[in-house]
Structure 1
Amino acid sequence: MEFRALGRSGLKISEITYGNWITHGSQVEEDAAQACVRAALDAGITTFDTADVYAAGRAEEVLGRALAGQRRESVEIFTKVFWPSGGSGPNDRGLSRKHIHEGVNASLRRLGTDYVDLYQAHRFDHSTPLEETMEAFADVVRAGKALYIGVSEWTAEQIRAGHALARELRVPLISNQPEYWMLWRVIESDVVPACEEAGVSQIVWSPIAQGMLTGKYLPGQAPPAGSRATDNNGGAGIIRRWLDDDDLLERVQRLRPLAEQAGLTLAQLAVAWVLQNPNVAAAIIGASRPEQVAENVKAAGVTLEPHLMKAIDEILGDKVERDPSVTATRSPVFD
């Protein structure tokens, strides 16, 4: 396993990070979830990412139990706040002082820990003054409940504004967690330069596009039985949008010889690809079976040659989404 500094901080995290969105508390049974966490630890992964909204809090509980008995100082635990995680009242969402303080206390209880290493704003809150949000995060850090703060799916302008306030409040905002993979590069032209200026790293989710980049989905064929595309509890609605494009699926198959040339599987190539971006500190992988963890961690420490990166671009061509304005649509505007 390789380790990278998170933002302009002294915190080192494993460049392959284990995340339990979709899987823990919903898609897989707890025994399987625990086995996946053990496989991650055995592979050298020290960084674990979750959120209070995943499976309405159950994902945090499962992760907390899975990490129980580990030396707390030897792992990095990340979680997030924004979406409702149980209640349905007007204050059960967003980034108000009330929701942040209640959210972090609930997350710590579910995770069975006194603090998280990174506490993240899961989206930008258009309904709450940014000053209130950042002051509440500063209070969380000063109370020792989080060591660092981060954001997820914020635009370049939002990151700049949040980082400026964090500097005034003298709290470390060091990360952004966006979707980023070979065909989804909306952060490259706008968000990444803003983060480089601010000393903020990317912790990217969906590097394998929910399994689409594994090559298991073939043009003109039904999804394999037991795959994520057939599991309505496992993100089928998310991946389905890509599976109707036979041209795209055919181009993914054309990546296979490039992966073999690098001595990698398609999944490993996908994870290694996002790690070539110097602003990316970690790629988040999920798993429903321990073998998936063992496969994906082999992307750690891989350097892809420039000619290989160019060949990937030539194959994917106009299928790549680069529009930076897409990020702004990720954060809802509440009434």
Structure 2
Amino acid sequence: MPNRRALVAGLAFGLAAAAAPLSTFAQEKLPVVASFSVLGDFVRQVGGDRVNVTTLVGPDGDAHVYSPTPADAKAMSAAKLVVVNGLHFEGWLPRLVKSSGTKATLAEATKGITPLEADDDHDDRGKGHAHAHGHDDPHAWQSIANAKTYVANIRDALSMADPAGKATYDANATTYLAALDGLEGEVKALVARIPAERRKAITTHDAFGYFVKAYGIEFVAPQGVSTEAEASARDVARIIRQVKAQKIPAVFLENVTNPRLVEQIARESGAKVGGRLYSDALSAESGPAGTYIRMMKHNISEIEKALTAGPA
């Protein structure tokens, strides 16, 4: 027959365990809000299993024109840490912070980065977009060296918000920074394969200034072409003349979706029409740019293929 004292002790332990808070047995995850998908990926890479990340502007989202939702305000209110890009990238953020009443710490991932001046003449979202950032270009993550600064800032912010997890955040950041070093080597190796005279392309993006400075590929704005709507036949004719005059080997045009117009550009200009480049947002996880590292690999692969290819 079982020992009576043992049974009583076991019962008492079971009752105490049932009454104990969950954090006694499992690490309660740190609630973190990231303003957009690239930052969300950085936080997950550094935070690992210790964080629960809510990303406000998700995959394929446009942080420039985003309108926060009541669910965003709720997530902000519950967060202990909010990670933002800064450099006026999230123009809607101050209103969201105020309306949510959040007490979370706000960490700017671009802290310590010297910003480039925004290119007001190359505006991929219509009038006012470049000016909305002021004079600073906020797309600093397009340089992998800057991405490493983002990661270091996020590591430090997580450690401040959750001191017990500092060793984990340090270790995760060290591993991820090494992966970014490898990524930069891959990007530079692919750029080196592009003949120097072919390292230029037309693009409707204005988000690649840091990429241009870091890796030496010139992105040229399409002259006189509206980027707010589907390109017209007149727009395409203008692009063809520009490609020929400036000897541009490749064109990346998000707003040209009509395949016949794309084929016309390639046929009449001799330029290669490149694939989609990801700039302000990651793709869905199942897509080609579901993480920052995959995004950068995808972009440089598309650029290298287009710029090393011969005439169409």
When normalised by structure 2's length, the TM-score is 0.30
Larger Rg: 2
Q: Higher helix fraction: Structure 1 or Structure 2?
A: 2
Tell me: higher relative CO, structure 1 or 2? Use CA pairs within 8 A at least 6 residues apart. 1
